[in-house]
Structure 1
Amino acid sequence: MAGVVAVGWFHQAHGHRQTAVAPDPIRVSAVAASVTDVPVYIDSLGTVTPTRTVTVITQVNGILRSVDFSEGQTIRKGQVIARIDSRALEAQLLQAQGTLRHDQAVLANAKLDLQRYQQLIKAGSITQQTLDTQVATVQEDEGTVLADTGNVNNLQIQVGYCTIASPVDGVVGLRLVDPGNYVSSTSTTGIAVVTQLQPATVIYSVPEDDLGRIRRAMSHGEVQVLAYDRDGKSLLAKGSLLAVDNLVNTSAGTINVKAVFPDSGSALFPNEFVNVRMQVDTLQRIPVVPTTAIQHGANGDFVFVIGGAGAVVLRNVKTGPVKGDDTAILDGGVKEGERVATDGADRLDTGSLVKVMAH
């Protein structure tokens, strides 16, 4: 009886082993690694800086007669933006012009007398001292006329200062002084501030360790710089590297860099913060995989590579720059054409069998 039970148990257990089935493959999405050129960027936060900011200050004292601009208006270089009462200066100018004419007449008469004295000295009708005195008189009158001319020119300039024009193309800000107020050349407030917006520039800082890469990029030609909005999603303008500062900030370990954006339009506004991407290199024909395929662990970054039999292998990789939705693989850890899992990685391990559902 015991032998019958043992035989029955053996057959039952043996039957269970024969009917056991392998686990179902894990369903994943996969993408084949490709090879492409990947630009290398240095990212930073920058501040839009106007090309020039000019505080318009009067050069003469007087009553502000008119303000000839609208706040926020775009103006051209030489466009009149304010006028100061010039009547007092114009009166002084007329007086100076009258004095000049008087002294010019005196000089002309002195020169005629000198010509007569030069003839009389030959006939012995006058002494040498009389002639010498007349020569000195002519020179004295010439000095007086020269001083009068300078005074007239100075007053003409002063009258010209009463018409204030913009020194640059740009946008004028809010009015700082209302018509009717007395303005002075010693005031630091000014009448208005004109900001030149084109071309726009952006100043940003980069780590001093990147200085070598920047210098190498500059030696190869123009260095492209991209300006994005605060979210880093919308491209605002394309420009190029203009200059690198001559000193490193020792307290922060950074150096300031300036980029210029010639065709930014109204996308870049003075003192606005923007995200800056400066291209300093290009990796030629480098393997890339979707960024979603890269996992992070205690031993670094890794991907799951899918073999021909559907088994996955965990492979550590060294990641590089990002291009769109892809990330460069720098150490050759993934070859072109190899498939990597892009989702379901939390259920995978080396040797796991997978079924690729999407590419």
Structure 2
Amino acid sequence: MSLRFIPPAAALAVAMAVLLPAPGTAHAADFTVRSVEVPELKGVFGEVKSRTVVPARARIGGTVRSVTVSEGDSVREGDEIALVVDDKNALNLNAADAKLKELQSQLDNAKLELDRAQQLLARGAASQARLDTAKTQFDVATNQLTASEADRAVILQRAREGAVLAPADGRVLTVPVTPGSVVLAGDEIARVASGPYSLRLSLPERHAASIREGGTVRIGERGISQDKAGTPATARPGRIVKVYPEISAGRVMADVEVDGLGSYFVNERTLVWVEIGRRSVLAVPAALIRTQHGIDYVTLATAGGPLDVPVILGERFAGDDGERVEILTGLKDGDVISAAGR
């Protein structure tokens, strides 16, 4: 049996045909473009709100003697935040003390008369009627003294109610009075945001049927600019806890629950992305896109070999295998992107 000589160039071609895949065949790391459904997000501004804002009110009328808190201070329920003084309370207290001394003297005298009447009745020198009269006078004096002590206690309680107490734990938002201000009973001395805090959203009426309690939203970083807030792919999740049933001025309101709002200012705005529907898009992993001279390209695996195709990018979002980028134009469903070309 004779051996046929094979030229080196032909042998190399045969080896490459065996080892290399046929043109247009997808590699194991290649990506096949498929249409996927993604949430359609609408960017709106949410305002940080305290679910309850409780006013601390004056319980008596008078002059504000002192204010111990300022805007931004944290308070505990029952803390004294201001003191209201009514100068008439001191005068009424002096009058009540003088009245008590007078009634105490009358009571002492009635007690002496009662004792004397009892002694005289025992010796037969006085009648039962005199004893009854003395006993009645003693009882009247005792009751008057008790009533006067109760009146004095009311004056003391009114003076103690000059202390304005924090109605709940929270943060002081406003203090509209200063020492020396004259206030009436029921006037607002301070406003306390007792929380918990949530984001209040205001959406156009056309999206009212698209949002629901329990739905997920994306909250950007602190700030009202796009540069500071980031993108939906990097935003943290939040949950819609309440959708208000009343539409006002063409807007529907909703509250979003998210951790970490306690450090925000009340009424501070931040960017929020709300899901208002779903749409089909072509999306590819961000790692398969390269930018050259300001133009974005992907490399397709075609029958004729790798082909660089310019694309126009859309939104970025988080996929199962990392960040993905929406392709607006340049690709179609079923295209194979070559990872080797990247």
Normalised by the shorter chain, which TM-score bucket? 0.5 to 0.7
> Does residue 170 of structure 2 align to residue 170 of structure 1?
yes
Q: Which residue of 2 aligns with 1:10?
A: none
Letter in 2 for 1:225: V
Q: For residues 259 and 208 of structure 1, what CA distance do their matches in structure 2 show? A: 18
Change (3 A) 1:146 1:224: farther
Q: For residues 156 and 37 of structure 2, what CA distance do their matches in structure 1 show? A: 65
Q: For residues 33 and 158 of structure 2, what CA distance do their matches in structure 1 show? A: 74
- Any idea what the Cα deviations from partners look like across 1:288-314, whole Å, max 9, x if unmatched? 514999xxxxxxxxx9995641498x9
> Does residue 218 of structure 2 align to residue 226 of structure 1?
yes
- Any idea what the Cα deviations from partners look like across 1:43-99, whole Å, max 9, x if unmatched? 322222233334544332333322223553222222222223366425535655786
Identical aligned residues as a percent: 19
> Does residue 268 of structure 2 align to residue 269 of structure 1?
no
Q: Which residue of 1 aligns with 2:72?
A: 72
Aligned residues: 269
Structure 1 contact 201–258 (Cα < 8 Å) conserved: yes
Q: Which residue of 1 aligns with 2:243?
A: 244
Q: Which residue of 2 aligns with 1:257?
A: 254
Letter in 1 for 2:252: I
Shift of 1:233: 1.0
Change (3 A) 1:210 1:162: same
Change (3 A) 1:248 1:174: closer
Q: For residues 96 and 84 of structure 1, what CA distance do their matches in structure 2 show? A: 21
Structure 2 contact 33–282 (Cα < 8 Å) conserved: yes
Counterparts of 1:14-25 in structure 2 under 5 Å? none
* TM-score normalised by structure 1 residue count: 0.53
Q: For residues 320 and 178 of structure 1, what CA distance do their matches in structure 2 show? A: 53
Q: Which residue of 2 aligns with 1:117?
A: none
Q: Secondary structure at the match of 1:159?
A: helix
Q: For residues 64 and 291 of structure 1, what CA distance do their matches in structure 2 show? A: 66
Q: For residues 158 and 40 of structure 2, what CA distance do their matches in structure 1 show? A: 57
Q: Which residue of 2 aligns with 1:334?
A: 333
Q: For residues 43 and 102 of structure 1, what CA distance do their matches in structure 2 show? A: 77
> Does residue 193 of structure 2 align to residue 195 of structure 1?
yes
Change (3 A) 1:310 1:92: farther
Q: Which residue of 1 aligns with 2:208?
A: 211
- Any idea what the Cα deviations from partners look like across 1:131-174, whole Å, max 9, x if unmatched? 9xx8xxx89x979967974x556434422222122223333356
What is the alpha-carbon root mean square deviation over aligned residues? 5.4
Counterparts of 1:42-81 in structure 2 under 5 Å? 42-81=42-81
Structure 1: 5+ residue runs without aligned partners?
A: 1-29, 114-124, 294-302, 341-354
Structure 1 contact 48–273 (Cα < 8 Å) conserved: yes
Q: Secondary structure at the match of 1:326?
A: strand
Q: For residues 278 and 146 of structure 1, what CA distance do their matches in structure 2 show? A: 66
